[in-house]
Structure 1
Amino acid sequence: MANETRKLSKEELQEDEFVEGAVRLVEYVQENAQNFIAGLVGIVFIIMGINYFIQTQEQSQSEAAALLGDMLIAEQAGQKEEAIRTGEQLQTSYAGTIASAQATVLLGNLQFNSGKYVEAERHFQNYLANYEPVDVLTLAASNGLAACLEAQGQVEQAAQRYEEIAARHKGLAAAGQAMLRAAWCYAQIGDRNKQRALLQSVIDEYARFPIAVRARAQIEML
């Protein structure tokens, strides 16, 4: 019959629901276009910000490395004041970079070699307190601090510092060298027993390194 209502199939119902849903989505987007655009712009700015940060970091590292190169060239040429000036500029402008960490330890060495032990100590402490530890730089800064104490007449404190270095880096040749230096410090204050014990430890624990030969030669002279 013409006026008889036909029952919609399951597939047709699903199609109608899909069409209605699509229409509602279009209407919603049209009504909230400004919000969608604002959100998209926000995402774009976030992405741009991240990219800028990465590029800036890479650029900073490159510029810092170039300054470190200038510092090393000046140091090798015997221009200590210029090397120190460049190193301090690197510290100020590029703090936290790998090059700045290296420059900080190098500044400590330069000041130490110039007899400015307080300044040298400040740089070594700066590295140990503010930079991610790198074995070679950490050893250099730690030994630098001990050497500053030694140079300022605080020999027993220096010996203790060298022993701490040896304990932290046990097994490395640098640890044996720190023990040799500690033994020398104890000799300066007349503690022969401590000196002998440290030298014997170097002989026993670092026999495969040349420092054991030096320790044996020193212990034979006691």
Structure 2
Amino acid sequence: MKVKKRKITRKELKEDSFTKFMKKLIFLWNEKKTLFIGVIVGIVVIAAGLSYFISSRRRAFNDANERLTYSIILVLNGNMQEAYNQFDFLAKEYYGTLPGIKALFYLANMDFQSGQIDKAMERFTTLTKLTKDKFIRPSSYEGLAQCYEQKGDMNSAIENYQKAEELFEYNAFRAEVLLNIARIYETQRKFSDAEKVYKKVLSIVKTPSLKTEALQRLKMLQGLRQVLGG
């Protein structure tokens, strides 16, 4: 029996990554949309100038968060160019703040989807150094890995997928990254390494679709090994 493998094209990879980007866009919006603005509490009367500064900063952060929400709605409505412009404004005007970091993350993903791989890589690299956010930082390593795949540098792709997998807290996200690593191992004909990764996915994930995918790929590889006498 001959097991026929179908190679995943770069176009399919980008389409799949766009689907994941949209899922993460919604996740990030819902789970992390609250801005943690510092509130100073004290017995001593706060100086008028300091109070004004704090109020101004709070208003600025609220404005940034509202603009970010509006930008995300533009994406969901398919108005990508205007959304890109809004994200670009936020990333520059609020650089290093939570709204600015989120905007930079969305820009990197949109650059990747439009084929601007070098620009996406630059943004993702900046994010890995700029933020310790437990979702954005690993997602940025994942984005870097996808960029390296587009460039054909599979070893660098694996390296960045591994960094993402180490940092992700949610097992479902870890599993998605591991499946990408296993897929690359298959293209490199490192079937034993791919099997180990699929088994790891099965040991950590409960999501039915991810578990089914890992199990199907594992069985296919085991069948291939039997056919080849390995």
TM-score by length of 1: 0.71
Q: Sort the Cα spacing of 1:51 and 1:140 in 2 relative to 1 into closer, same or farther, 3 A.
A: same
1:92 paired residue number: 92
2:67 paired residue number: 67
**After alignment, is 120-129 or 174-183 more displaced?**
120-129
Which runs of 5 or more structure 2 residues have no equivalent in the other structure? 1-44, 222-230
Counting matched residue pairs gives 177
Larger Rg: 1
**1-side partners of 2:76 and 2:87: how far apart?**
14
Within 5 Å, give how 1:5-154 maps onto structure 2. 47-131=47-131, 133-154=132-153
Q: Deviations over 1:87-139 (max 9, x none)?
A: 111112122332212111111111111111111122222222223x2222223
> Of the candidates 206, 209, 217, which is equivalent to residue 208 of structure 1?
206
Q: Which runs of 4+ in 1 moved over 4 A?
A: none
- Give 1 or 2: higher helix fraction: 1
Q: Deviations over 1:18-64 (max 9, x none)?
A: xxxxxxxxxxxxxxxxxxxxxxxxxx9x8233212211210111111
**2-side partners of 1:83 and 1:171: how far apart?**
28
Q: Secondary structure at the match of 2:129?
A: helix
1:219 lines up with 2:226 in the alignment: no
TM-score by length of 2: 0.69
Q: Sort the Cα spacing of 1:72 and 1:168 in 2 relative to 1 into closer, same or farther, 3 A.
A: closer
Q: Deviations over 1:175-197 (max 9, x none)?
A: 12211110001112222121111
Q: Secondary structure at the match of 1:190?
A: coil
Q: Sort the Cα spacing of 1:51 and 1:171 in 2 relative to 1 into closer, same or farther, 3 A.
A: closer
Task: Return the letter of the residue paired with 1:120.
Answer: A
Which runs of 5 or more structure 1 residues have no equivalent in the other structure? 1-43
Q: Percent sequence identity over matched residues?
A: 23
Q: Deviations over 1:195-221 (max 9, x none)?
A: 111112222x22533323221110111
Tell me if structure 2 keeps the 8 A contact 1:87–1:107.
yes
**1-side partners of 2:52 and 2:148: how far apart?**
45
CA RMSD after TM alignment: 2.2
